[in-house]
Amino acid sequence: MRSFSSVFSGIERALSGAGLDGYLVIFGSITVMAVLIMAIFANYIAPYDPVQSVGPAIHPPCTKYIMGTDSIGRDVFSRIVYGSRTILTVVVMSTGLSMVIGIPLGLISGYMGGILDRILSLIMDSIYAFPGLILAIVIAAMLGPGIYNTALSLAVVYIPTYFRMIRGEVLSLRERLFIEAARAIGAKSRRIITKYIFPNVIYLIAVIFSLNVADAILTEAGLSFLGLSVTAPTPDWGFDLKNGQRYFLSGIWWPVTFPGIMIILLALGFGFLGEGLNTIVSKRGE
Amino acid sequence: MLKVENLSVRYMQRFSPPVLAVDRVNFQVEEGEMVGLVGESGSGKSTLGLAIMKLVSPSGKIVGGRILLNGRDLVPLSEKEMRFVRGREISMVFQDPMTSLDPLMRIGDHLIETILTHEKISKKEAKERAIKLLQDVGISPDRFYDYPHQMSGGMRQRVMIALALALNPKLVIADEPTTALDVIVQDQIIDLFKNLRNQFRVAIVMISHDLALELEATEKMAVMYGGWIMEFSRSVDIAKDPLHPYTKALLKAIPNIELNDQKLISIPGHPPDLSNPPKGCRFHPRCPYAEDLCREKEPPVHVIDGRYVKCWLFGSDRR
Amino acid sequence: MTSLKTYVITRVLLTIPMIFILLTLVFFVMRVLPGNPVIAMVGMKASQRYIKQLEHELRLDKPLWEQYVDYLNRLLHGDLGRSMIWGRRPVINEIMDHFPATLELTVWGFIFSVLLGLATGVVAGVKEGGKMDFAMRVYSIVVYSLFIPWFGMVLQLIFGVWLHALPVGGRINPLLTPKHITGIYVLDSMLTWNLPALSSSIRHLMLPSLTLGIVLSGIYTRLVRSSLIEVLGQDFIRACKSRGLPERSILFKHGLKNALIPILTMMGLQFALLLAGAVLTETTFSWPGIGTFLMERIEYRDFTTVQGTVVFYAIFVALISLIVDLIYAYIDPRVRY
Ligand SMILES: Nc1ncnc2c1ncn2[C@@H]1O[C@H](COP(=O)(O)OP(=O)(O)OP(=O)(O)O)[C@@H](O)[C@H]1O
Ligand SMILES: [Mg+2]
């Protein structure tokens, strides 16, 4: 019990002076945690098999099927619970891949400068200027459906985001004294990047990560809404929403509303988290 | 005409203690007078100048005292009422002419806008007056349609001066109007101020950290240190017989050789941290005459032959 | 004037590598990614002969670099190839049939998003750190998180089904289609003074463009907010105050006007977001634009058309960003003179 309250007071202290932004962080973390728990413990939480017909088709929410059933009698709630796995897996894999490629390139490009930097920047800026979802659509269409393919197509879209942010930060860090000093004492480039620059961009990475994940969630949902992400029985929020669209306007609201709310909540969670963190950290920095 | 009484300004900061940048300050300006305000960086000169126009918000706040302009106290006035004081009765020239003009607005439009905001005259008349004002400050009328970035710093500062004079105010506060400029241009701008003062019969508060310049140009002078006015008297008296140890130190720091541009052989020590000022007299850590009393208690203001000085060295029981 | 000229020339020259890189990216995506585009197109079960024939037709049997040179060469001559289904029309014609619809939707969505973003951004930026500022920051994140298809469907339900106020799909009542001049129905019906068509097309536009506009307005809220805060902190604003100018004119004439310049430079990127959002909006509202067209051709595995459409997007995006920068140069006197 004591450790519990000390954790709490720790959080309180961390958020003191954060004002309303503290609430954003709290709301964001709770939402994200909830979905994470949902995904991890899906088999304990979901009452039914998400890919089997378990009741009458198009049954409105009731005590037995709390979010109703879809057009072929699958339990909407169970599909939502398992669907969190799909979207989180895709998003985590894709952002991980974008980071693994985008961050080192940004570090090197920003630090080295010169012709390499110019070429890389031009390429990244061009991709960045292209509508992300459309790029993801084409890549996903060429690769075919599947979780890995979807993750790959999202990763390509978001590499420039990481690259640009990190590069910009490195450029401003490079001018700062301590790196000049490190260079003066003859440290190797690789050492300077990993020892001096990288630790200074970690906070930035956390912020971009939150905001970027929010974006990636919406893009993943968009891809699956367009039918380019997963194939038929797999539970997936965007895909389920698309399947419910046909009946939605005739009053069958539940197969659309619940997945939609989940997509929005998850994007909001990460969005609030990133915004709150960013504001708090930049206030502290003043 | 302008009488500042016990004026205090405090800046609130989010993650550090508040700063009392101007602390119970008294001084006055008579009609048509040129009054200097000198002191090291951070002594609160700009804050005092801005406070007279009530422009210290949002981070700053006037926390006490009165600003009497021809007998009327400005402190209780609302923002709306202040609008009619600013520009019309008191106006201001800022330190950096490069950033003080709207980059998207032509020079002439700045002037016309200012005039038309306050006076009910036709646009044509306003334009004529604007051109006249530009000529007064030495800018040719064919610069009327220029954008700020097309002008040099000195020219922009002339425009700022024209803007400050546009509505015939009684008082202009000039906050280091020459600091951002080349030396030669500096002299030109100071001369311009001198001329315009006679032409427009306007009082000027000239803020500067350049004591030599102030001694030459002003009639009276206030010496600021750490948010206090340490000495306030006629400039000739200060030049001949400075009373306050800080004033003496400043005078000593003026480079003798006019030729080289080495500003301020600085006074040893550092200006005080105003969020945590030293106890007693704020100058005592750097004062060669400091005694125990100076370290303990704030000095009172003494009036000696019409001169004000805030120091323990003076007063009936001392001198 | 010379500085403006140099600016324009450099900017135009900079567009070329950008288009080139994007075209290369498209080529790369369409051929080098794992998987055979022909098999992706016709499926595994097609006969070997048919696959060979298609490969030959698409020049996929040639070495990669030869294909690449050929691809660029054709594009240079404005040749996007021919569709592989339904009459094999030139891809560019197919695109042009659908482009006006997308343009109409995005322009209206753009207008809504800018108006909303300006209003909310100004409210936020006037008093940084205030309650309204926080509220508007929350607004911007909330609307951006509104998943377009879901939000669109909710609007369809409310305004279409419950209130019977607005149509839920399509561009216009087909019986009222105006004479084709630009292909933009609102414009065409105004040019031909066809009021029923005008009203029908505006009513059809309402829901999709509002969906797109509201969702993307959050971005403008943030841009306007941060830019305004930055400008309002600058010296010349205080100088304006020192001249007794009214607060409104300081905020709008001096503050907002200056704040809009950096926002303008980012409009190009925003337009890309608008195009991406338009794909989802079009699909949700059965809007016959390039987005639905692209999705349809992906479904039919019309390889050349998909490639052509993406190339079209790339060039369009590059041109928009060029135009935006030229407008900026014209508006900002610091560049113009
Ligand atoms: N916006 C602000 N917020 C907090 N503190 C401030 C602010 N502006 C000024 N100060 C503090 O108030 C004190 C006086 O500042 P002020 O600018 O008036 O000095 P100054 O005499 O004009 O100096 P300088 O010669 O550098 O212009 C300084 O300690 C400064 O740090
Ligand atoms: Mg100052």
Q: Give pLDDT tens digits for A238-277.
A: 999 999 898 888 888 888 999 999 999 999 999 999 888 8
- In a domain, residue A53? The reply is no
And the tokens for C20? 């080139």
Instruction: Using alpha carbons, list the distances in angstroms from residue A105 to A153, A170, A179, A198.
Output: 19, 11, 19, 12
pLDDT at res. C99: 94
Residue A54's Cβ-count burial label (10 Å; 0-12, 13-18, 19+) is middle
Q: Where are the alpha helices (DSSP H) in chain C?
A: 2-31, 37-42, 48-57, 64-76, 91-126, 131-145, 148-155, 185-191, 195-232, 235-242, 247-249, 257-284, 290-299, 303-331, 333-336
pLDDT at res. A277: 85
Which range (A160-169, B200-209, B262-271) has the least confidence? B262-271
B49 lines ligand 1 (CB under 6 A): no
- In a domain, residue A62? The reply is no
**Residue C214 pLDDT greater than 60, yes or no:** yes
And the tokens for C225? 């907010």
Which of these, A71, A90, A122, A129, lies nearest to A256 by C-alpha position?
A: A71
CA distance C223 to chain A (A): 14
B42 lines ligand 1 (CB under 6 A): yes
- In a domain, residue C324? The reply is no
Contact between chains at C280 and A241 (C-beta distance less than 8 A): no
pTM of the model: 0.89
User: Number of H helices and number of E strands within chain B?
Assistant: 10, 12
Name the helix (H) or strand (E) containing A147: helix A147-174
- In a domain, residue C243? The reply is yes
The residue ranges of every structural domain in chain B are 2-89+170-310, 103-168
- In a domain, residue C36? The reply is no
**Residue A285 pLDDT greater than 60, yes or no:** no
Domain containing C242 equals 91-299
Residues of A with Cβ-Cβ distance to B14 under 8 angstroms: 17, 283, 286
> Which of residues A6 and C119 earns the better pLDDT score?
C119
Q: Tell me: the pLDDT tens digits for A16-40?
A: 656 788 889 999 999 999 999 999 9
Residue B275 Cα: closest atom of ligand 1 = 29
pLDDT at res. B120: 93
Provide ipTM, 2 decimals: 0.90
Report the CATH number that the domain containing residue C221 is assigned in CATH: 1.10.3720.10
**Residue A1 pLDDT greater than 50, yes or no:** no
Domain containing A103 equals 4-47+76-285
> Which of residues B252 and B195 earns the better pLDDT score?
B195
Average confidence (pLDDT) over C214-220: 94
Query: What is the residue-averaged pLDDT of chain C?
Result: 88
pLDDT at res. B165: 94
Residue of B89, B92, B104 best to disrupt the C interface, most CBs of C under 10 A = B104
**Residue B259 pLDDT greater than 50, yes or no:** no
pLDDT at res. C34: 56
Average confidence (pLDDT) over C47-65: 78
Phi, psi of B308 (to 5 degrees): -100, 135
Report the CATH number that the domain containing residue A92 is assigned in CATH: 1.10.3720.10
Query: What is the residue-averaged pLDDT of chain B?
Result: 89
**Residue A202 pLDDT greater than 50, yes or no:** yes
- In a domain, residue A55? The reply is no
Residues of B with Cβ-Cβ distance to C245 under 8 angstroms: 83, 87, 113-114, 117
- In a domain, residue A235? The reply is yes
- In a domain, residue C44? The reply is no
- In a domain, residue A219? The reply is yes
Residues of B with Cβ-Cβ distance to C242 under 8 angstroms: 53, 55, 86-87, 91-92, 94
**Residue B317 pLDDT greater than 60, yes or no:** no
- In a domain, residue A279? The reply is yes
**Residue C1 pLDDT greater than 60, yes or no:** no
- In a domain, residue A60? The reply is no
Q: Tell me: the pLDDT tens digits for A50-108?
A: 888 877 878 788 888 888 888 888 888 999 999 999 999 999 999 999 999 999 999 99
pLDDT at res. C2: 64
- In a domain, residue C75? The reply is no
Q: Does residue B105 belong to the interface with chain C, where contact is any CB pair within 8 Å?
A: yes
Q: Tell me: the pLDDT tens digits for C168-201?
A: 888 888 888 888 888 888 888 888 888 888 999 9
Per CATH, the number for B2-89+170-310 is 3.40.50.300
Which of these, B194, B26, B24, B175, lies nearest to B95 by C-alpha position?
A: B175
- Closest chain B residue to A286 measured between Cα atoms? B15
Residue of C39, C128, C140, C147 best to disrupt the A interface, most CBs of A under 10 A = C147
Most confident listed range (A231-240, B155-164, C324-333): B155-164
- In a domain, residue C310? The reply is no
* Count of the separate structural domains present in chain C: 1
Q: Tell me: the pLDDT tens digits for C130-155?
A: 899 999 999 999 999 999 999 999 99
**Residue C220 pLDDT greater than 60, yes or no:** yes
> Which of residues B256 and C54 earns the better pLDDT score?
C54
Instruction: Using alpha carbons, list the distances in angstroms from residue A203 to A91, A274, A286.
Output: 20, 11, 15
* Count of the separate structural domains present in chain A: 1
- In a domain, residue A69? The reply is no
